[in-house]
Amino acid sequence: MEEQEPPLHTAAAGATGLSNKPPLYVGGNEDYARVKSFDALRNMFWIETVKLWQMAGSAVITIICMYGTNAVILLFAGHLGTIELSAISISLAVISTFTDGLMVFNLVPRRLPNAVIALGSLSICMNINGWEAMLFVGIYIAISVRVSNELGSGRPRATKYSIYVTVFQSLLIGILFMTIILITKDDFAMIFTSDKELQQAVSKLAYLLGITMVLNSVQLVISGVVVGCGLKKMVAYINLGCYYIFGLPFGYLLCHVANWGVKGFWVGMICGTVLQTLLLLIILYKTNWNKEVEQASTRVRKWGGQGIKTENGTESIED
């Protein structure tokens, strides 16, 4: 008869009741026991939250400080005029990210009606989206390290629980940002520009900005999870296919062929992000975390120069 695992709130209690281990863990590697009560869920959620933000906090602050220079430049340039804002947008977009640079240069041609306003409104939205994305880049780094550490320590359930807590919190943050943007869609552009026409153009893009913020909250986090599992190449290939092979061409067609303008290009990029998120979720859904722990242990022994048992029981050291 298979031995049942003790519930989380009684897992680590010793035979004499004198064990000094927290009642959240079970086994020699102190992995989480199954959560079978609300108190256990609350305790686990709090512990994982503290661990997450202890790692993500410093990364978020550092990244936001680095990104803040571009944001301040756009903040002042927008009040000089729409031409100045558009010029700064082109230079910073190319410097910051290749994808944003391609998006901007697809808006520069004169085939797009009122390209200056379109470019300025997109720049303001991308700037705000960048602030939010920097937060999730920090969480991306934290969950990547967290997953790899838990797998290497032989704790599959701790790995799963840390992913659940991180994705849940990130999604709530993304929804919060989207709500703020939608509530203030007619006003937040005033921070960057005093031009009424440009403010109206930004207001029309607010819905796409809100959707992008929610997608960022999930996509970046699960990308960090997959990277933490050691699948960096797979994430790179998925990014390449979803953004540059699917998202950008589709956005170009919507922008110039379907005459959707700046909205079309942004919708194309959103579709690429949705596709990437779905593929990563499928990968996580099919992941066997016990096997991932075994693979991580094998890598640790291999890289540490320790013997690895073969099928015939002998040990070998792989170079």
CA 233 from centroid of its chain's CA atoms: 17
- In the prediction, which pLDDT does 97 show? 52
- Give the range of the structural domain holding residue 268, as residue numbers without chain letter: 38-70+83-288
In a domain, 4, yes or no: no
In a domain, 2, yes or no: no
- In the prediction, which pLDDT does 22 show? 45
Is the Cα dihedral 201, 206, 212, 213 positive or negative?
A: positive
- In the prediction, which pLDDT does 69 show? 62
Q: How many domains does the chain have?
A: 1
What is Dmax (Cα atoms) for the chain?
A: 80
In a domain, 5, yes or no: no
- In the prediction, which pLDDT does 112 show? 57
The pLDDT tens digits of the residues spanning 203-244 come to 988 999 999 999 989 998 999 998 888 888 888 889 889 888
Give the end-to-end CA distance of the chain in Å, rounded to a whole number: 42
How confident is the prediction for the chain on average, in pLDDT? 75
Mean pLDDT is highest, among 81-85, 89-93, 139-143, 189-193, for 139-143
- In the prediction, which pLDDT does 261 show? 77
- In the prediction, which pLDDT does 314 show? 40
In a domain, 20, yes or no: no
The pLDDT tens digits of the residues spanning 71-128 come to 555 555 544 444 444 444 444 444 455 455 555 555 544 455 676 777 778 778 887 8
User: Is the Cβ–Cβ distance between 162 and 147 less than 8 Å?
Assistant: yes
Q: Which of 167, 165, 158, 138 is nearest to 296 (CA)?
A: 158
In a domain, 295, yes or no: no
Tokens for 169?
């919190």
Mean pLDDT across 53-82: 67
User: Is the Cβ–Cβ distance between 146 and 228 less than 8 Å?
Assistant: yes
- In the prediction, which pLDDT does 167 show? 93
| Burial of 271: CB neighbours in 10 Å, binned 0-12, 13-18, 19+ | middle
In a domain, 315, yes or no: no
In a domain, 300, yes or no: no
Paired sense of beta strands 31-32 and 315-316, if any: unpaired
Tokens for 58?
């410093």
Residue 183 — very low, low, confident or very high, per pLDDT cuts 50/70/90?
very high
In a domain, 111, yes or no: yes
